[in-house]
Amino acid sequence: MAPTASRPRPSSWRAALAVILGAILWAAAPAAALAAPAVPAGSPAMAARVKGEFLHAWTNYRRWAWGHDELRPLSRTPRDWYGQSLMMTPVDALDTLVLMGLDRQADADRELIARRLDFDKDIYVKTFEVTIRLMGGLLSGYELTGDKRLLAKARDLGARLLPAFDSPTGLPYAYVDLRTGATRGAATNPAETGTLILEFGSLSKLTGDPVYYAKAKRALAETFARRSKIGLVGLGLDVETGAWTDPDSSIGGGDDSYYEYLWKCWRLFGDPDCLAMWRATIPAVNRYLADDIAGRLWYGHADMTSGRRAATQYGALDAFFPGLLALSGDLDRAGRLQDSSLRMWNLHGIEPEAIDYKAMRIVSPGYELRPEIVESTFYLSHFTGDPKYQAMGRTLFDDFVKYDRTRYGYAALKSVVTKEKRDAMESFVFAETFKYFYLLFDPSALDFDAVTFNTEAHPLRRAWAHP
């Protein structure tokens, strides 16, 4: 399919009208979105088992890769993303250590971060990844521990990332040099331009400097402003021209967390503009991307301009969407889609990166230790109290341990069919996968209503409102 040019930005009066209409629509929001959720009972034995497996991975990271970004769990060697460590795993893991009550390990990790994490490096980093992993982890770590050194590091990082927003459109460049502020990478996508406001916004609220919120909100709004006439966004976007370079629309990678942050911006900050953007977006997503096949609900791909079905593909990253639907009040649709996600998982005892749901065949066979299906199980368990979701979680965890555990940690799979392992253990397994498993079985570990999880599962609260 040929790329389509972006449509002109709406005029200010049209943007204002969209906000007003969104606020009106919110007044008619479904009652389920506002109802108090049931509280699941939890499973202490399963929570203890999850904690034990987390410690297996964490202890091996400490032994073989302490202070580095990641451990390669097959070769027992460290890996740094940019040739120099930014401590991805220590920062990503900190709040999970705290929530699990692993105080000794959390204190050692916090000291490592406070003393050795240094952002004064002449390296280009991915704006999106460094924001969700490092800024998100530092901010949640600060809110959970009160250690002001973590907030200072988050502020230092935020200031170094600000030049990424200096494009003609206000959409952030994909890469920024942490020392010089030089930028590169005009090719991006809605997830990378629209998944910054929780972290930058929290930084503004905690430091009193409004520039971070303003920059990230503009990027989110500029992404929204470029939606098609039928309300969809595409996959490829140029930050300098504002033009779409790929019209493919889905809830999967490249689009996923853009939708997530529209709702979560409203949830965390109470920003009515974010609410209006969400209310203007979700009907189009449900109309053009949802797909009913033989009575099962899936979400596929469509052309952003015409709405025509482009592919019947769904995968591990898409599996976050039942959780977002549940969080925003659509429990019926969330439950149906979660059942489809479980069917994908059960094809080979663990989920592949992507399937063709119409043919029920694998399109991409790898498994990267992804958390999204666990995340959705956690949300649905929280909001429904239905014990089937804890039972589902046990199945997921049993399979996760069976196929991914190694002597020195947890390893990704090259193929869910052959179960051949790959020498990789990304930091998000500590930040997200183990955390969501643990909270599923011990929901008392965190006050759900007091926090909003960023897309890396770092819990952010309105700490600025409750000194």
What positions carry a catalytic annotation?
129, 256, 353, 372
The token duo for 61 is 């990271």
How far is Cα of residue 445 from the mean position of the Cα atoms in its chain?
21
At 228 the three-state DSSP class reads coil
Task: For residue 304, count CB atoms less than 10 angstroms from its CB and return exposed for 0-12, middle for 13-18, buried for 19 or more.
Answer: buried
Both tokens of residue 158? 């935020």
Identity of the amino acid at 463: A
Structure tokens at 40: 């699941």
> Which residues, 6+ apart, have CB-to-CB distance to 29 below 8 Å?
329
- 3-state DSSP helix/strand/coil % of the chain, to nearest 5: 55, 15, 35
Residue 280: which of 238, 245, 228 has the closest Cα?
A: 228
Local structure of residue 178 (DSSP, 8 states):
T
Question: CA triplet 164, 167, 171: central angle to 5 degrees?
Answer: 75
Calculate the dihedral angle through the C-alpha atoms of 191, 197, 200, 203, rounding to the nearest 10 degrees. Answer: -140
Q: Which of 33, 32, 44, 57 is nearest to 444 (CA)?
A: 44
Rounded distance between C-alpha atoms, residue 173 and residue 193, angstroms: 8
